């Protein structure tokens, strides 16, 4: 039962408005930098590391998670629209997603 109380406390901390704002900032920055071909999530996190120096520890982890997922989404965007995979994880997305987008199928 102690584990569930710790899990509930973790969700209570993560869902505060300040931490949700940091998640929004992270996904926005991650998407903006992840769209650039050749810059993957790891490099995006390394580039945006100085942002977290003045942030609380739990907010910085939430910010990093937002940056990571935003960069993954941004990398798939360039793979689908430009047929330019920025990293090895988006090669198949570039092959299939670009073909689907050109044929007019919206679910790439």
Asked if the structure places residue 43 within a domain, the reply is yes
pTM for the whole structure: 0.82
pLDDT (tens digit per residue) in 47-103: 888 988 889 999 999 999 999 999 888 888 888 888 888 787 788 888 888 888 888
φ, ψ dihedrals at 87, nearest 5°:
-155, 175
The answer, yes or no, to whether residue 20 has pLDDT greater than 90, is yes
Asked if the structure places residue 16 within a domain, the reply is yes
Please state, in angstroms and rounded to a whole number, the distance separating the CA atoms of residues 75 and 44: 11
Please state, in angstroms and rounded to a whole number, the distance separating the CA atoms of residues 47 and 11: 28
Domain that holds residue 10: 2-102
Please, are residues 37 and 86 in contact by the beta-carbon 8 Å criterion? yes
Kindly write down the DSSP assignment for every residue of 20-82, as one continuous string.
HHHHHHHHHHHHHHHTSTT--HHHHHHHTGGGGGGS-HHHHHHHHHHHHHHHHHHHHHHHHHH
Asked if the structure places residue 88 within a domain, the reply is yes
pLDDT given for residue 106 in this prediction: 61
Asked if the structure places residue 108 within a domain, the reply is no
Asked if the structure places residue 51 within a domain, the reply is yes
Please state, in angstroms and rounded to a whole number, the distance separating the CA atoms of residues 65 and 85: 22
Asked if the structure places residue 107 within a domain, the reply is no
In the chain, how many domains are there? 1
Asked if the structure places residue 64 within a domain, the reply is yes
Asked if the structure places residue 58 within a domain, the reply is yes
Residue for token pair 């942030």: 55
């Amino acid at each position: 039962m102690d584990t569930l109380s710790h899990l509930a406390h973790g969700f209570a901390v993560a869902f505060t408005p300040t931490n949700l704002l940091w998640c929004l900032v992270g996904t926005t920055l991650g998407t903006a930098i992840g769209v650039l071909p050749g810059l993957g999530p790891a490099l995006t996190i390394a580039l945006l590391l100085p942002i977290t120096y003045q942030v609380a520890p739990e907010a910085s982890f939430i910010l990093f998670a937002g940056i990571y997922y935003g960069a993954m989404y941004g990398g798939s965007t360039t793979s689908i629209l430009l047929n330019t995979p920025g990293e090895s994880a988006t090669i198949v997305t570039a092959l299939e997603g670009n073909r689907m987008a050109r044929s007019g199928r919206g679910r790439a």
